[in-house]
Chains A and B, each alone.
Chain A
Amino acid sequence: MLKIKNLHASIAGKEILKGIDLTVNAGEVHAVMGPNGSGKSTLAQVLAGHPAYEVTDGSVTYDGRDLLAMDPEVRAQEGIFLAFQYPVEIPGVTNAYFLRSAYNEIRKAKGLEELDPLEFLDLMEEKMKLVDMDPAMLNRSVNTGFSGGEKKRNEILQMAVLGPRLAILDETDSGLDIDALRIVAEGVNKLRSPDNATILVTHYQRLLNHIVPDEVHVLAAGRIVRSGGKELALALEEKGYEQFAAGAGAGAAA
């Protein structure tokens, strides 16, 4: 589904990604782990099309098509979803209005009919149970006055409603307590299918106890320096990232 080849990206003239190679197939869950500053979030945002980043080399194909040539909204309409590390507050726009607009844009892109507010409400009620959210939040402004945990659950709710083929979760576990983490992980797991794929960007191993990855990649200084199975995450937990700090050594499956 997704093929990243030799991806280089910079922000404000500073190079963050220094040659990423990664392939993700349908039905797979990949974890991307690394120390702070390694470029994990940058990778997530570049895949989503954040305008602040400049791709200076390499390619990314999605279903064989050039992803980097697509505007952020086109990527979303093609089924890519980024769960933000710091979800944005948008006072003045209700969660209901925002989600319905997004949902209908994606339906339009697929040539399907849009849903009216009542039909959409039915859909919403079903999805909200997935992340244990109170339907009253639909009338509140997007993420406004939400706790960190509520914001992250709202990201997963959006994911549940929009049904992406490739979900990229950017440090979704950061700042979450055990209960919130459990709810988020259960939500993600329920959405897993053989037709979609997930990239989990995370610093800590604990999320991977709940969402078990097929492959784990270690990102250090802008490059993937080791890839392996889920045992790699446990090894990192025990020994830390320092062994990879130099960024040397090609990854061999553990």
Chain B
Amino acid sequence: MTAPVLVIGIGNPSRGDDALGPLLIERLAAQDLCDVELLTDFQLQVEHALDLTGRDEVIFADASVESAEPFEWRALQAEHDLSHSSHALSPQAVLDACTRVGVMVPPLANLLAIRGYGFELGDAPCAAADRNLCAAVDFLVGYLRMKADRRQD
């Protein structure tokens, strides 16, 4: 059965703070979370829209060079942007693709943008990024548990 909530962690684990998305997924996997499916990938593609089928909510987690510290949390809407012309789509473009590939109405969507600083190949995440990640994990675990409680009510 499809879990109502999907968390997608985006990034390359070998590129410094780009690993924040996959690392968040690893840490969530160690938690006892109900009704949540975890997915990690290097980058978003149009077929990720199919992963959104039957979901109540999707959360995209990615490193960001633009967000405030330690992270930003914001709602996303489907958006026709020019990331369609790249090998990697933005989360908004994936939501936009939902209607095109049969998912029809995209689920509720949020972005967890974790502030990163360095993205060199072979580097480990820096200490500041790791602190941001810890804060993001704490926040997201609380959020997911709160949502699970509400579903049970």
- A and B bind: no
Interface residues of B (CB under 8 A from A): none
